[in-house]
């Protein structure tokens, strides 16, 4: 049989829509081959860094080769749309910012693995495919791709027992979540005879409702484990603490963004019949996550663990507005996901620079008087902390205000009050960090190391934190169109 | 009543196994010998007294590689069966599949996973 007959239904020219993904994949392959061919040396480390940056830049450039706002390619298994493109660009930018930190951190900690570069690339590829598909199988495979990269990267800390322990916990619970997702997908497929989430959700009627709802619950449970919603969050603080800090930042920003995208895509398809059950279940989970996540963060004495719990709480904020199931709610959720990836990444990256000094062991009290050791780092850390708390000139405020608006528009006021209460709890630990940094005596004296690329990265994140907070319409106009477009497409079916 | 055959089969199974095991226990010779309770290890004397020791890391890597190429062979069999039907398309697909796995082997080789004579310093 001829190859063209078998590939008959596939239009080969459609591969041009996959150009960014293909570039990232080729980058991973080139790095892999270089790792096999080259001898270990300082030059090789630098070459790896620059080749990764080159391929990510090429991938960014290749977005300009396609100009489609909405298109299903490869028989509907892959969707090119604005949300997908937007999140893919964001994921690539976040990866670009992580890379220099990864380089210096691993050098300093004597734990340099060349594998980490191409595993990062493969994880990024998984995130990119996860961000742009409605197909259950594609979502499943990309979930596996992202998760397996994260398991490996969590364990990549030479000689650290905690790293292996966190990775193992992550592996077990992540594996369970994948199984649950697959089980739910099987139920959904059985009930609706389709693998496309859009068709599955539109096929809801009373005859097949039981299996469809069982499938949806299982599928959403799997995503709840992945994004760290509270009754299923147990792996998250351990894995985030165990991983090398730049990788924690990568997981908390780009990874969380990618895990949220399928949930965001689901929201416009929650129709009248499903709305009340969706609203009740999601809002209760979100309320528990917000309150308990912040309360647990309040008692942490480890700075990295504190930020991990704060990441859980932020998942709760984003999930809460998904319960409103309106165009406004979806806008707020997309906005908050994007801005959380900026501020969360910033906080973890500052921590990764601090960790490279000898005396630093992430204990909360050691941050005392950080301002006298390093002005730039402490001020940028304070900016990220204030953004996470939601103080006005930063993005965090705009995000939380939009979340509240999204809840108010559907009269879910109680969840809005829970949000405010949770933010009030979070003030306790966020402000404590800032007070320790600026108003206490110096706990340990050290001179943090200096790297141009790292400081450019942190500076850019601080800049984004302010500029998107003061001029939110820069991001908002795009997101507003995306959300309304998603709802329009959903209502057309 | 439709499952009566299945139930009787179950009864026969249980009865037969109980009878065989008890016959074995009743008629078998019972002699105490030291080698009877001795753990079996491929016909060589035991390396360790207990089973709860740490294995050399190399065993795990070897196990992983075995899994890799075992699965490779398992996938090659169905391909070989329908080779004539698939033709050049199947050939290219399997070539790519083998290429990826070969890269796995090259990777393991270059990372000295097959080299067991390393000193502890290099770990």
Predicted pLDDT of residue B119: 58
| For residue B45, pLDDT beyond 90 | no
Reported as a single tens digit per residue, the pLDDT across A436-445 is: 988 888 878 8
| For residue A11, pLDDT beyond 70 | no
Answer yes or no: are the C-beta atoms of A151 and A171 closer than 8 Å.
Answer: yes
Which of A251-260, A404-413, B50-59, B112-121 has the lowest average pLDDT?
Answer: B112-121
| For residue A246, pLDDT beyond 60 | yes
Higher pLDDT residue, B59 or A328? Answer: A328
- Cα A367–Cα A462–Cα A434 angle in degrees, nearest 5: 25
- Contact B88/A2, CB-based, under 8 Å? yes
- Contact A3/B110, CB-based, under 8 Å? no
Mean per-residue pLDDT, A230-238? 90
- CA–CA dist B106, A29 (Å, integer): 14
Predicted pLDDT of residue A68: 72
Nearest to B110 among A1, A2, A36 (CB): A36
- Contact A32/B107, CB-based, under 8 Å? yes
| For residue A3, pLDDT beyond 60 | no
Strands A78-81 and A70-73: antiparallel
CA B105 to chain CA centroid, nearest Å: 20
B83 interfaces chain A, CB cutoff of 8 Å = no
- Contact B88/A32, CB-based, under 8 Å? no
Query: CA of A7, closest CA in chain B: separation in Å?
Result: 10
What's the mean pLDDT when you consider all of chain A?
89
B88 interfaces chain A, CB cutoff of 8 Å = yes
Reported as a single tens digit per residue, the pLDDT across A477-493 is: 888 888 888 888 888 87
Predicted pLDDT of residue A222: 92
Predicted pLDDT of residue B123: 46
Whole-number Cα distances in Å, A82 to A41, A71, A196, A477, A480 = 42, 10, 19, 12, 11
* ipTM score of complex: 0.74
Reported as a single tens digit per residue, the pLDDT across A26-51 is: 999 999 999 988 888 889 999 999 99
B96 interfaces chain A, CB cutoff of 8 Å = no
- 27-56 in B: which are within 8 Å (CB) of A? none
Reported as a single tens digit per residue, the pLDDT across A338-383 is: 999 999 999 999 999 988 888 888 888 888 888 888 888 899 999 9
Reported as a single tens digit per residue, the pLDDT across A65-93 is: 766 778 888 888 888 888 999 899 999 99
Reported as a single tens digit per residue, the pLDDT across A373-382 is: 888 889 999 9
Answer yes or no: are the C-beta atoms of A191 and A184 closer than 8 Å.
Answer: no
Query: CA of B100, closest CA in chain A: separation in Å?
Result: 11
Question: Given the structure tokens 């959720």, which residue do they identify?
Answer: A333
- CA–CA dist A481, A103 (Å, integer): 38
In this structure, chain B runs to a length of: 123
Predicted pLDDT of residue A186: 92
Mean per-residue pLDDT, A133-148? 92
Higher pLDDT residue, B89 or B12? Answer: B12
- Contact A3/B85, CB-based, under 8 Å? no
Residues of A in contact with B106 (CB under 8 A): 36
What share of chain A has pLDDT > 70, as a percent? 97
- Classify residue A196 by its DSSP letter: B
Please, is B27 exposed, middle or buried when counting C-beta atoms within 10 Å of its C-beta (0-12, 13-18, 19+)?
Answer: exposed
For A158, name the nearest residue in chain B, comparing CA atoms only. B123
Query: CA of B82, closest CA in chain A: separation in Å?
Result: 11
For A113, name the nearest residue in chain B, comparing CA atoms only. B111
| Long-range CB contact pairs, A430-436, < 8 A, 24+ | A430/A310, A430/A385, A430/A386, A430/A388, A430/A389, A431/A389, A432/A364, A433/A303, A433/A306, A433/A364, A433/A367, A433/A381, A433/A385, A434/A382, A434/A385, A434/A386, A436/A364, A436/A365, A436/A367, A436/A368, A436/A369, A436/A370
B92 interfaces chain A, CB cutoff of 8 Å = yes
Mean per-residue pLDDT, A236-246? 92
Answer yes or no: are the C-beta atoms of A237 and A308 closer than 8 Å.
Answer: yes
SS3 A139: helix
- Contact A2/B86, CB-based, under 8 Å? no
Predicted pLDDT of residue A69: 76
Nearest to B88 among A3, A32, A36 (CB): A3
Say how many CB pairs under 8 Å bridge A and B.
Answer: 19
| For residue A275, pLDDT beyond 70 | yes
Predicted pLDDT of residue A249: 94
């Amino acid at each position: 049989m001829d190859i063209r007959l078998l590939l008959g239904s596939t239009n080969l020219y459609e591969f041009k829509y996959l150009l960014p993904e293909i570039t990232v994949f080729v980058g991973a392959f080139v790095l892999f081959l270089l790792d096999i061919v080259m001898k270990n040396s300082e030059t090789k480390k630098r070459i790896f860094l620059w080749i990764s940056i080159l391929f990510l830049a090429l991938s960014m450039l290749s977005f300009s080769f396609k100009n489609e706002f909405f298109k299903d390619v490869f028989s509907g298994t892959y969707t090119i749309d604005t949300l997908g493109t937007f999140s893919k660009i964001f994921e690539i930018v976040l990866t670009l910012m992580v890379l220099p930190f990864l380089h210096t951190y691993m050098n300093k900690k004597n734990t340099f693995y060349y594998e980490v570069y191409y595993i990062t690339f493969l994880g990024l590829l998984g995130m990119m495919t996860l961000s742009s598909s409605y197909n259950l199988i594609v979502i499943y495979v990309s979930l596996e791709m992202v998760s397996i990269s994260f398991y490996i990267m969590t364990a990549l800390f030479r000689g650290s027992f905690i790293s292996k322990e966190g990775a193992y916990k992550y592996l077990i619970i992540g594996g369970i979540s994948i199984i649950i997702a697959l089980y739910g997908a099987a139920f959904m497929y059985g009930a609706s005879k389709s693998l496309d989430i859009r068709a599955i959700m539109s096929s809801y009627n009373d005859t097949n409702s039981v299996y469809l709802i069982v499938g949806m619950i299982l599928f959403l449970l799997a995503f709840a484990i992945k994004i760290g919603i509270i009754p299923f969050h147990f792996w998250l603080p351990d894995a985030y603490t165990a991983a090398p800090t730049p990788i924690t930042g990568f997981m908390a920003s780009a990874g969380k963004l990618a895990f949220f995208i399928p949930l965001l895509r689901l929201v416009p398809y929650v129709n009248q019949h499903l709305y009340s059950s969706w609203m009740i279940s999601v809002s209760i989970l979100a309320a528990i996550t917000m309150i308990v996540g912040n309360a647990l963060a309040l008692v942490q004495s480890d700075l990295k663990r504190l930020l991990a719990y704060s990441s859980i709480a932020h998942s709760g904020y984003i999930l809460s507005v998904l319960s409103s199931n309106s165009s406004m709610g979806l806008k707020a959720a997309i906005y908050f996901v994007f801005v959380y990836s900026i501020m969360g990444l910033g906080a973890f990256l500052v921590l990764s620079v601090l960790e490279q000094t000898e005396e630093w062991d992430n204990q909360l009290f050691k941050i005392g008087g950080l301002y006298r050791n390093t002005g730039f780092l402490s001020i940028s850390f304070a900016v990220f902390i204030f953004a996470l708390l939601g103080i006005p000139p930063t993005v965090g405020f705009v995000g939380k205000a939009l979340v509240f608006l999204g809840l108010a528009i559907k009269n879910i006021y109680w969840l809005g009050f829970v949000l405010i209460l949770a933010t009030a709890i979070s003030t306790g630990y966020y402000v404590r960090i800032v007070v320790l940094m600026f108003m206490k005596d110096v706990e340990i004296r050290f001179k943090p190391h200096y790297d141009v690329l790292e400081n450019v990265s942190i500076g850019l994140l601080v800049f984004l934190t302010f500029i998107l907070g003061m001029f939110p319409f820069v991001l908002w106009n795009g997101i507003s169109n995306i959300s309304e477009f998603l709802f329009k497409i959903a209502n057309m079916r | 009543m439709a499952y009566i055959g299945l139930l009787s089969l179950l009864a026969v199974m249980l009865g037969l196994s109980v009878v065989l095991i008890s016959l074995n226990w009743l008629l078998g010779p019972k002699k105490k010998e030291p080698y009877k309770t001795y753990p079996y290890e491929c016909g060589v004397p035991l390396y360790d007294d207990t089973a709860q020791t740490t294995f050399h890391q190399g065993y795990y890597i070897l196990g992983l590689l075995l899994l890799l190429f075992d699965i490779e062979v398992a996938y090659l069999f169905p391909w070989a069966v329908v080779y004539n039907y698939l033709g050049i398309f199947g050939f290219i697909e399997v070539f790519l599949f083998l290429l990826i796995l070969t890269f796995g082997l090259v990777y393991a080789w270059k990372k000295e996973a097959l080299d067991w004579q390393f000193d502890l310093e290099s770990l």
